[in-house]
Structure formats: C-alpha cells, structure tokens
Structure 1
C-alpha cells in the first residue's frame, strides 16, 4: 500500500480503456483535487516515457463510489480480477450498472465513450 498524508492507495488495476483504484480518504480531502493530481502526474509519466504512439490524455471526468470498510476485501478482489471480469461485461456496461445500483442520475451525453 502507498500511503501519504492525504490518502492511502489500497488497490489499483486497469484495462486498456479504464482504471479502478480503491483509495482511503480522510473527510477533509477533495476527491476532485486528488483525481486532478492522479491524471496530471500519470499523463506526464506516460508521455515522458513514450508508452503511447501519440500523446496520452485522460477523458474528462471520472466515477467515484464509496464503500463501507466491511466491503473492502470484495472491492480489492473485484479490482484484482479485472481481466476476467471484462471478458463478460464491457466497461460501459459495468459503469452504467454501477450508476443504476447506486441510484445515480446521469445524462447519456456525459457517459464514458470508448477510445477511438
């Protein structure tokens, strides 16, 4: 686990079109500021190391969901098994199911678009 004064990275894993992170936050933290830092720092690292054929950029926005401490082992397992999980369901299908499960109202125009 990576731990700083502001957050604790508990689990991270992703696919070619998205990333899942389980992060412990303090109540005084801003998720928006955290995500801005994650996106800026990771974009710079990816571009500095030329991991992509062109310039890497994150899409605008992100999805954030909270879980109780009792759910942490399940969430970690879910994050660790992304490859198997996405053989059955696309990221878009998964994200829409999260929005429905958590009863989040959304506008279809602002939902994740598959990379070109």
Structure 2
C-alpha cells in the first residue's frame, strides 16, 4: 500500500460569482455536507471554509486521486445537494474553473489559518483581490472543466 502525503489547496467559486451562500449558517451546512460526502467517497478534506461566492478546501490526495476527479465529485454532488435541499428550483452552480496549489507540510497550519479566517479576510477584501493575491503569493494555477 503506497504512503502518500500530498496536500492541495483548492479554491473555486459559484457560477458568475453569485453570492448564493449568503449566510454563515448556509455556508456551514454546505461545508459540513461537502466534508461528509467527501469522506464517504474517500476524499480526505483536511480543512474547508469559504465565503458567499467561493470555497477554499485543503485536501490530502489519495494515491489514485486526481485534481479533476476530486473537483468533479465535490462540486457536482454539492450543487445537486443544495438545489435539492435548500433552493426550491435548480439555481445553484459552481463555476467550471478552479485554482489548485500544492502545499508543503511546513506551511499546513498557515494555510489552515488562512482558510479558517475567510469571514474576517473578506470583510475588507473582494474575491477578485484575493484571487490576484493567491496567484502572486501562492503561485495558484487555474484549471478548468472539472
């Protein structure tokens, strides 16, 4: 059995960056659902949080998992779930694109804190500003078609 320790910090947004996840309670339900469903599918989510229009997720990759497979499973199932259980008609969608960057074990706690503090972070910074900061600071690479 292989021993793999590869951490990826994913970030993805709602379609057209619509602020569907308006309340902290709704966001908590979404993150809890993603965490539970991912666990059922063998995806290890180390930390998850976000804001009204996007999600940050720190994932420990399994030996047979790919970035696109993980994103497809998380985003597809969570949008289906929220449309079935929260909204009266299918409205919610995630954007196709996502960002992903590998994370060194030496900065895992720094990344967890960054993800944990999204509410505070976005009280003074837009998603566009955060996006540019992540590209410059963390070397995020944008992937599409999850």
- Please indicate the TM-score interval, normalised by the length of the shorter structure: 0.7 to 0.9
In structure 2, the residue matched to 1:67 is 103
RMSD of Structure 2 on Structure 1 (CA) = 2.5
Cα distance, 1:86–1:53 mapped onto 2, change above 3 Å: farther
Q: Distance in 2 between matches of 1:84 and 1:54?
A: 30
Could you tell me which runs of 5 or more consecutive residues in structure 2 were left unpaired when the two chains were aligned: 1-34
User: Could you tell me how far apart the structure 2 residues matched to 1:70 and 1:55 are?
Assistant: 40
Higher RCO (CA < 8 A, seq sep 6+): 2
Number of the residue aligned with 1:76: 112
Cα shift at 1:91: 1.2
Contact 2:50 2:118 in 1 (8 A): yes
Aligned to 1:32: 68
Structure ranking higher in strand proportion:
2
Please tell me whether residue 19 in structure 1 is matched to residue 21 in structure 2.
no
Runs (5+) with no aligned partner, structure 1: 111-116
Q: TM-score, normalised by structure 1?
A: 0.77
What does residue 91 of structure 2 align with? 55
| 2:126 is the counterpart of 1:93 | no
Q: Distance in 1 between matches of 2:100 and 2:130?
A: 13
Q: CA 1:52/1:75 → structure 2, altered by over 3 Å: closer, same or farther?
A: farther
Query: TM-score, normalised to structure 2's length?
Result: 0.63
State the number of aligned residues. Answer: 107
8 Å CA contact 2:46–2:58 kept in 1: the answer is yes
